């Protein structure tokens, strides 16, 4: 099993230090960063795949629970807070666990093990050939086999398929995390392509279904082994 990529959203330096120390002791956790507020974390999540968030509730600018409600397809979330009264709301939002500060390493270990177990169960479950995305206040089923490419458009993504185009309010990193790595590849900060739809390519561009898509400067080496 690959390591679980995680981030910390916490504005108290001491609380961040405790989490960083605890995470460093867990072999299957891979800490990618810590953020003082939800807006900074949101920018990161739009561009990167994350499997677990350690989330404080009382954050500046945007509170933890409000931030959690903005995530369309949230990863696993472990709440870390000194306030017990938000526990019911947290579990209503499907958080994995709710840790009351100060918590010992043993309690922390129990919480992250729940995430690990859920991840293993998810990987062992039947592989789906589709995803559901939010489009105009409803969830639309999109088959992987029909997707040609996905384009980032600020806070939205445009999903171009063989039948329709869809506009969904989510980040490129969020949709990338939902797509099978063997079928799709990100070749630009703004573009994800279907590998089976590739018709031709060179060092600068890829042609999918008659459409030319540029290869980003930072993605040239990453795609070499896929064609």
Each residue's pLDDT expressed in tens, for the chain with a length of 227 residues: 579 999 999 999 999 999 999 999 999 999 999 999 999 999 999 889 899 999 999 999 899 999 998 888 889 999 999 988 877 887 788 899 999 999 999 999 999 999 998 877 666 555 678 999 999 889 999 999 999 999 999 889 999 999 999 999 988 888 998 898 889 999 999 999 999 999 998 888 999 989 999 998 878 765 665 55
What the block records as the tokens of 168 is 């969904």
Tokens of 187: 């070749």
Do residues 78 and 52 lie in contact, with contact meaning Cβ atoms separated by under 8 Å?
A: yes
Positions of E strands within the chain: 4-9, 29-35, 52-55, 76-81, 97-100, 130-135, 138-143, 147-153, 156-161, 165-168, 184-188, 191-194, 198-201, 205-208, 211-214
Is the domain covering 130-226 a CATH 2.40.50.1020 domain? yes
Architecture label for domain 4-124 = 3-Layer(aba) Sandwich (3.40)
Q: Which pair of structure tokens corresponds to residue 20?
A: 């960083």
* Side-chain half-sphere CA neighbours of 26 within 13 A: 25
Global pTM? 0.56
Domain residue extents for the chain: 4-124, 130-226
Q: Which of 59, 14, 45 is nearest to 174 (CA)?
A: 45
């Amino acid at each position: 099993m690959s390591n679980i990529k995680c981030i910390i959203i916490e504005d108290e330096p001491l609380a961040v230090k405790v989490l960083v120390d605890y995470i460093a002791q867990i072999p299957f956790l891979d800490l990618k960063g810590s953020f003082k507020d939800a807006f900074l974390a949101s920018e990161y999540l739009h561009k990167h795949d994350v499997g677990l968030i350690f989330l404080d509730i009382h954050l500046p600018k945007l509170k933890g629970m409000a931030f959690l409600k903005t995530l369309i397809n949230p990863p696993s979330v472990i709440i870390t807070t000194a306030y017990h009264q938000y526990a019911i709301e947290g579990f209503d939002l499907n958080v994995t666990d709710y840790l009351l500060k100060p918590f010992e390493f043993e309690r922390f270990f129990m919480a992250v093990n729940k995430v690990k177990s859920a991840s293993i169960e998810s990987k062992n479950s039947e592989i789906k050939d589709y995803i559901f995305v939010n489009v105009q206040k409803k969830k639309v089923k999109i088959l992987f086999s029909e997707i040609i490419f996905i384009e980032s458009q600020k806070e939205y993504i445009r999903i171009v398929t063989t039948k329709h185009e869809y506009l969904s309010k989510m980040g490129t990193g969020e949709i990338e995390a939902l797509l099978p790595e063997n079928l799709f590849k990100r070749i630009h900060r703004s573009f994800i392509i279907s590998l089976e739809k590739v018709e031709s390519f060179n060092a600068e561009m890829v042609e999918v279904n008659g459409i030319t898509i540029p290869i980003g400067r930072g993605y040239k080496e990453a795609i070499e082994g896929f064609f």
